[in-house]
Amino acid sequence: MTEGPYFKSNSPERAALLTPDITGTKLVLTGNVLKKDCQPVARALLEFWQADDKGAYDNAGYTLRGHLFTDEAGRYHLETIMPGLYPGRTLHIHVEVQAPNGLVLTTQLFVPGDPHNQSDPIFDQKLLMTVQDAVDGKLATFNFVVN
Ligand code: FE
């Protein structure tokens, strides 16, 4: 899937993109990186970038940008906010996934039930996160499969 125009290299390594001044609905995204035979991929690189709750990317700094690595069981845990909407797109979070010494998988994650999904030319329902309400925001899961 397209990387889009807002990728920026050299993001900080961190599992929480929440900064003190951030606004919006808290989102905890967890899941696994797996091989096609369902074996976990440890130390897989996951790079995330997204718009803030008003639909704006931080192109000057690294707000809502970061990367992390899966643990020995192939699990990851990201704390962020629900992305905001910007013209021409539905809600989405950009992701790049790379197993150690593997190819980079560039993709996007989507939010179930958003009415803009129908009109977004890039939307793919295979990339819908599973999202549920939590006490202080949303809990989402998504598993990535890489070669
Ligand atoms: Fe985008």
Percentage of the chain modeled with pLDDT above 90: 99
Q: How far is the CA of 72 from the centre of ligand 1 (A)?
A: 30
Q: How far is the CA of 17 from the centre of ligand 1 (A)?
A: 16
DSSP tally for the chain: helices H, then strands E: 0, 9
Strand runs (DSSP E) across the chain, as ranges? 26-35, 45-49, 65-69, 75-81, 92-98, 105-110, 130-134, 137-141, 144-146
**Confidence class of residue 147 from pLDDT cuts 50, 70 and 90?**
confident
Q: How far is the CA of 94 from the centre of ligand 1 (A)?
A: 6
> Tens digits of per-residue pLDDT, 91-146?
999 999 999 999 999 999 999 999 999 999 999 999 999 999 999 999 999 999 99
Q: How far is the CA of 136 from the centre of ligand 1 (A)?
A: 25
What is the C-alpha to C-alpha distance for residues 61 and 74, in angstroms, rounded to an integer?
29
Could you confirm whether domain 26-146 is CATH 2.60.130.10?
yes
What is the Cα 24 distance to its own chain's centre? Answer: 16
Single pTM value for the model? 0.96
Percentage of the chain modeled with pLDDT above 70: 100
Average pLDDT of the residues in 29-58: 98
Q: How far is the CA of 39 from the centre of ligand 1 (A)?
A: 30
